[in-house]
Structure 1
Amino acid sequence: MDGSQEWRASPRIVMKPEGKRSTGSALHWHAEEKDGKQRATFTQEKKFDLGRKRIVFGHLGVVLNVNVLLLPCVKCILFIAEHCSLRVVDHLSELCKVRFADSKGCKDFKLKRTKCSAIVCNVLAPHFSSDLKDDIGDQKFSLLIDESNDITVTKLLGIAIRFYSRSKKKIVVTFLDLVELPDCDSTGICDALKRSLKNSGLELQKLTAIGTDNASVMTGVNSGVYAKLKTEVPHLILIKCVCHSLQLAVSHATAQCLPRNLDFLIKETYNWFSHSAIRQARYKEIFSLINDGQAPLKLIHLSQTRWLSVESAIVRILQQWLELKTHFGMARHGEKCYTAEILYGMFCDKENYAFLVFLKHILGEVQRVNKKFEAEVQDPTKLLSDLLHLIDSMKSKVLIPEHHHV
């Protein structure tokens, strides 16, 4: 970031005798406590004029001009904001004082959650937002949008922006905003998106393209988000998520062509062990006897929203096919469980094994291409080549030879 843009925080702090304090900036400072009980009070106004120092923070390339008074805090807060939860800072500050007692900087290091949150929200966030706005300038840009739920089941709209960075001399994709959605329909999403652009100082007419998943609320022809934005931005381009398209293609193909019992086999094999420590211990003993003391790898849960996750689950079951078959053969007599009886019969069926081997190779190729599209750094021309090669490979495995030209 441009080091010439100074972060200006007033060093002026006023502490009143009654314990109330005022400050010239958005940053609130904690007064040092005496014996952990009484707050230090100042009978007169104190001003700190310690000058400024330019710091660079690691791989982020963050350059800030800050007061020397803030220097120990800023580096720590940037690290926490990038890698940790803010709650960590309560213990981290005390740990630094204990482990680096001979350091004057650590001895005077005072940073807790309240102060850390205030600096992140009121100092660092405005600095980075302003820097991002200046970097974009009046250029055209594209947006990547998607809905999500937080831990309180509140609907949110995540927005990432793609533009040419003048400072980095390359195209970058970075976080722009996270907006709460009062309504989850296309109108609510469009309103939230426009509001976010306005707050960020960006013009809607500069928007060239949006990238979304294939949900109807986003891509609907008549009333989707893209259709509504298209009426205001005629040149707008829609880019659908290739990864999501691959997921849907695999899901529809397997739902129509593969036996339903395979889905039962994968799900119930995992469920058999998921809530029983006794069954896991018994299986571990059987696996150890068959494989000369080795421990089994855990079975993988099948995701309800991403069908390509079944590829890793299938691979794990095929690796332990004999051991699982032996376990269920013993469990059907030991536990007298009907589920174990069904699963044992399915593991004895060679047709199920053949289907899973076939699926393993098909899904393995799709997963390989899917991960390439998910990678942060890729050559677009190479991605197109990989996608076309995947289509040709699927045709050679699924279609009858005389239909390969389709």
Structure 2
Amino acid sequence: MSDSEEAGVSGYSTPPKKKTKCGISSALRKSAYMAENSVPFSHANHLVEMQKKMFPECQIAQEMKMKKTKASYVIQDRIAWEEKQEIAKICRENRFALIIDESTDIAVSQILAILVRFYDKKRLKVTDALLDIVEVDDASGEGLYRLVKELLISKDIPLTNVIGFASDNCSSMMGSNTGFQAHLKKDVPSIFVIGCVFIPFLRLVLKICLFSFTIIFGGIFEERMLLFCTQ
């Protein structure tokens, strides 16, 4: 059988080119750069074409094929997956704090962002990382806690490794009886819990401003500032 006949049987008019290690590495590095710098996926089309024009004698640059579909796949299904596995491994082996926040995405679906804060032994500093994002069906404190607990169990992360918890001050998170933190304390009684401190600090600053303005300008601003402080 001739080369042309073998090519026809295999479904290719010419033998397919094998992806080189340098080519794969180049695609990964370019995708990682886009993810790190929040570059839109649509820019991948232009980056590759510009790379070919900038380095016309480079074979790797000329063979580079990565548009927005491939870039989104590499980032979301490969790099992100590896990062989540690495973060889960760190949480299995070290103590960490849990930070969660509920929101609504562009598709009007309730989602829960689950972050962890731990001491990174490689970077020698405290690091915040996204463990996962899950869709919410039951937004009650019990429902959210069940969702997070199931996620930790699925990743083989022991609850005893959780030493802290932080979130906003809504009742489903910080409720003393039915909130997320109440259910978490039943499983981890020694956990340290802290709510959002931004609003109390803001009110404190406004009260200080009110006091200063009252001293300097009299009671001109007192009524309006007091109203704003109590919102």
Q: 1:107/1:184 Cα in 2 relative to 1: closer, same or farther (>3 Å)?
A: same
Alpha-carbon displacement from aligned partner over 1:247-268 (angstroms, at most 9, x marks no partner): 46679x7xxx9xxxxxxxxxxx
How many aligned positions are there? 212
Q: Secondary structure at the match of 2:221?
A: helix
Paired with 1:17 and 1:78, the residues of 2 have a C-alpha distance of 38
For residue 194 of structure 1, what is the aligned residue in structure 2? Answer: 149
Q: 2:28 aligns to what?
A: 74
Deviations 1:146-185, CA, capped at 9 Å, x for gaps: 1112112211111111112222233222221111111211
Which of 96, 106, 114 in structure 2 is aligned with 1:141? 96
| Counterpart AA for 1:70 | I
Question: Aligned-pair distance for 1:243?
Answer: 0.9
- 1:264 aligned residue: none
Q: Equivalent of 1:123, from 56, 71, 78?
A: 78
The residue type equivalent to 1:115 in the other structure is K
Matches within 5 A, 1:204-353: 204-247=159-202
**Quick check: 98-107 or 134-143, which moved more?**
98-107
1:99, distance to aligned residue in structure 2 (A): 4.2
Shift of 1:16: 9.3
Q: Check whether the contact 2:23–2:64 (CA below 8 A) recurs between aligned residues.
A: no
TM superposition shift of 1:238? 0.8
Q: Runs of 5+ in structure 2 lacking a partner?
A: 1-6, 211-216
SS in 2 for 1:214: coil
Structure 1 residue runs of 5 or longer lacking an equivalent are 1-14, 20-40, 51-66, 258-349, 364-406
Answer yes or no: is 1:97 the counterpart of 2:52: yes
Q: Which one scores higher on RCO, CA 8 angstroms, separation ≥ 6?
A: 2
Aligned to 1:166: 121
RMSD, matched Cα: 3.4
CA contact (8 A) 1:136 1:164 kept: no
Measure, in 2, the Cα distance between the counterparts of 1:179 and 1:68. Answer: 35
Question: Take 2:104 and 2:8, find their aligned partners in 1: how far apart are those partners?
Answer: 44
Q: How far off its partner does 1:107 sit? A: 1.7
Given that residues 214 and 244 in structure 1 are in contact (C-alpha distance below 8 angstroms), is that contact kept between their aligned partners in structure 2? no
CA 126–231 in structure 1, closer or farther in 2 if over 3 Å, else same: same
When normalised by structure 2's length, the TM-score is 0.76
Please give the TM-score of this superposition, normalised by the length of structure 1: 0.46
Which residue is 2:3 aligned to?
none
Q: Which amino acid aligns with 2:95?
A: K
Is 1:355 aligned to 2:221, yes or no? yes
State the AA in 2 paired with 1:191. R
**Higher Rg:** 1
Distance 1:211 1:97 in 2: 48
